[in-house]
Structure 1
Amino acid sequence: MTARIAHATTSGTFSLDGGTWDVENNVWVLGNESECVVIDAPHELAPIVDLIGGRTVLSVLCTHGHDDHVSVARELSEATGAPVRLHPADEVLWRQSHPDFDYEPLGSQESIAVAGVELQVRHTPGHAPGAVCFYAPELATVFTGDTLFQGGPGATGRSYSSFDTIIDSIRSQLFTLAPDTVVHTGHGASTTIGGERPHLDEWIARGH
């Protein structure tokens, strides 16, 4: 029962600092025929349930607490019986969406087992204080949420974000991975570490 990755896209809105924007989010499910984890729970429950396909869900893993990544986390948890896992540094963002529903804290260097592979938690603050990436060494894959995209780092122009911090996170936690590591992002197309690493200095120059 080899681990495999399934993907769907959901549509909805992102709201913060008094503004609201239309967005499309990626949902990633990693598992085998019998068990899986869900990475992010945005906008719509049905497409995520379809990806799960009746398997046991071990946990709902949140890359960060922005509402477009956690909007149906409670519904998904209640539908599957799986706990929601989130880095506690994003408590303030989580409570904006879920004031009366608790998550289980993710450790900054925790290791999560699913379908015979390991997911390493890498704390990558910058886009959000509790942003994390999930690295699967056996699959040469990292799920980066909104920390790293094809073409640059995640946005840092809103509350609880920092450009210098996200650059430090990318440099220390992601660009130390092998160049052929596949990067599955929170929005848009996937990329590789080797495809993005050469552009770091450009991003820094642009960001300042």
Structure 2
Amino acid sequence: MPGPNHVEPGGAPLVLPLAPGLTLTKLSVGPMDNNAYLLQTPAGALLVDAAAEPERLLAVTGPELATVVTTHRHGDHWQALAAVAEATGAELVCGRPDVDAIATGAWVEGLVGVWDGDTVVVGGEQLEVIGLVGHTPGSIALAWTGPDGTTHLFTGDSLFPGGPGKTAGPEDFASLLADLEGKVFDRYGDATVVHPGHGDDTTLGAERPHLGAWRARGW
């Protein structure tokens, strides 16, 4: 059974109002069912992960796209980055430790590296950058908190329904889980919505009871 905010590969985008003047559009692109997220305000728009199918992304974003954030260096998350950047002139942002890998892989220039304590702005809204080391050295999440107090986390491949994203070994897993616990679960409440890089959404409340099981299984 599909979970919260399900979208089908190649299917229609899902549009969610987050606040007055702010909407979230989610669509699945590419052969790996990558989620792309558009945050749109009257004063600008921000895309999280120009993963694939640039024509479909541009049909949603339009040429006024101001910023593209790439959550991490893996190629399935930036296949459309160069085409979207060329069509829109958007500023390109990613985690600082992943800058060189994304610039080389995607053939893009001018990437802005960000990390803990930095913010990314869309219209009048600010998203906090959270560095999550483990899935890749420079994976980031973005946190936006609405006027009702609900936080929305765009976690890339660092957190999914059912656990952290894939890591290369025990050290990377320990790093990612420690960052998730300290920077995410310890800071944000159960109502926090998690928007992952693939698949359906979840909440921190749904995932929190399983932290011990994740630690015990080691992945």
Give the TM-score normalised by structure 1: 0.87
Q: Distance in 1 between matches of 2:30 and 2:108?
A: 25
Alignment of 1:37-76 (within 5 A): 37-54=46-63, 56-76=64-84
Gaps of 5+ in 1: 13-22
Post-superposition offset of 1:98? 2.8
Question: Given the alignment, which residue of 9, 30, 49 partners 1:11?
Answer: 30
Post-superposition offset of 1:47? 1.5
Gaps of 5+ in 2: 1-19
Post-superposition offset of 1:5? 0.4
Q: Distance in 2 between matches of 1:95 and 1:186?
A: 20
Distance 1:132 1:205, change over 3 A: same
Quick one: percent identity of the two aligned structures?
30
Q: Distance in 1 between matches of 2:92 and 2:103?
A: 13
Q: Distance in 2 between matches of 1:26 and 1:112?
A: 19
Question: Contact 2:99–2:113 (CA<8 Å) still a contact in 1?
Answer: no
- Superposed CA RMSD in Å reads 1.8
Question: Contact 2:97–2:113 (CA<8 Å) still a contact in 1?
Answer: no
Question: Given the alignment, which residue of 178, 181, 193 partners 1:171?
Answer: 181
- 2:21 is the alignment partner of 1:2: yes
Q: Distance in 2 between matches of 1:72 and 1:97?
A: 11
1:36-88 deviations in Å (ceiling 9; x for gaps): 1000011210121122135x222101111111111111111111011211112
| Equivalent residue, structure 2, for 1:104 | 112
Question: Contact 1:11–1:24 (CA<8 Å) still a contact in 2?
Answer: yes
SS at match of 2:66: strand
Distance 1:111 1:168, change over 3 A: same
1:129-187 deviations in Å (ceiling 9; x for gaps): 000000001252110000100111000037xx810111011101110211101100000
Distance 1:126 1:40, change over 3 A: same
Query: What is the number of equivalent residue pairs in this alignment?
Result: 195
| Equivalent residue, structure 2, for 1:78 | 86
